[in-house]
Amino acid sequence: GQQVMQIPQYQHVQEGEDFTTYCNSSTTLSNIQWYKQRPGGHPVFLIQLVKSGEVKKQKRLTFQFGEAKKNSSLHITATQTTDVGTYFCAGGNNAGNMLTFGGGTRLMVKP
Amino acid sequence: DAMVIQNPRYQVTQFGKPVTLSCSQTLNHNVMYWYQQKSSQAPKLLFHYYDKDFNNEADTPDNFQSRRPNTSFCFLDIRSPGLGDAAMYLCATSARWNIQYFGAGTRLSVL
């Protein structure tokens, strides 16, 4: 079955440093979604990418979808303490079925 | 306003004592999901309903059952909770296989 891997599992950064998490799928994806889960909270949808090579920005967050639609990345510029949480990617397969979640990257930001 | 509501937020049960968790939604989404999330792990899909069609994940124990009496409500029944079933249980909804909206979760403790 489809597998979605995320690296790194954990990342500590100093406030103001950049952060990137990577997502790789074993199969071609129809779309990729990103979710953020704050400590003690629930996953909250951030963005969806559908097109090959697509890049989307949300303020300090930049999301990319690979040309082959098998990988994706989330980059945060100049992290803030409010960015703390676990970031999950979730891939949809071409059969149009449900999402497969990656293992998540837990971001910790030191003030 | 919360669109996916889970009750209760915290549930304590005894080993082997059946427990039911509930989820309701105001989004009129046709897909509802139940996830189990343990500490520092990604949400693990237990099962989902596409309209009235129930779909069980292959590795979901028989101890876990679900009911969806109507579009708005979905229940998770744990017939004989074990210590290993202590976790956060997340309900999510989506319109077809699109973006998932999560409830705040029910944290289950088993004594």
* Cis previous bond, B8, omega within 30: yes
Structure confidence at residue A68 (pLDDT): 96
**Mean of all residue pLDDT scores within chain B:** 94
Q: E strands within chain B?
A: 4-7, 10-13, 19-25, 31-37, 44-50, 53-56, 64-67, 73-78, 87-94, 101-102, 106-110
For residue B110, name the pLDDT band (cuts at 50, 70, 90).
very high
pLDDT at A96 exceeding the cut of 60? no
Contacts of B101 in chain A (CB under 8 A): 45
CB B107 within 8 A of CB B12: no
**Mean of all residue pLDDT scores within chain A:** 94
Cβ separation A90–B100 shorter than 8 A: yes
Q: From the CA of A58, how many Å to the nearest CA of chain B?
A: 17
Q: From the CA of A105, how many Å to the nearest CA of chain B?
A: 9
Contacts of A44 in chain B (CB under 8 A): 102
The lowest-confidence range among A90-99, B64-73, B74-83 is A90-99
Between residues 34 and 53 of chain A, which touch chain B (CB distance below 8 Å)? 35, 41-45, 48
Most confident of the following: A23-27, A72-76, B39-43, B48-52: A72-76
Average pLDDT over residues B34-47: 93
pLDDT at B1 exceeding the cut of 60? yes
Average pLDDT over residues B70-92: 96
Distance CA B34, CA B75 (A): 9
Percent residues over pLDDT 90 in chain B: 87
For residue A17, name the pLDDT band (cuts at 50, 70, 90).
very high
Cβ separation A44–B102 shorter than 8 A: yes
A42, closest residue in chain B (CA to CA)? B104
Average pLDDT over residues B60-76: 96
A34, closest residue in chain B (CA to CA)? B99
pLDDT at A97 exceeding the cut of 70? no
Structure confidence at residue A16 (pLDDT): 97
Structure confidence at residue A110 (pLDDT): 95
Contacts of A92 in chain B (CB under 8 A): 97
Chain-centroid distance, C-alpha A6: 8
Those residues whose C-beta lies under 8 Å from the C-beta of residue B45, and which sit 6 or more positions away, are: A98, A101, B33, B34, B35, B57
CB A56 within 8 A of CB A49: yes
Percent residues over pLDDT 90 in chain A: 87
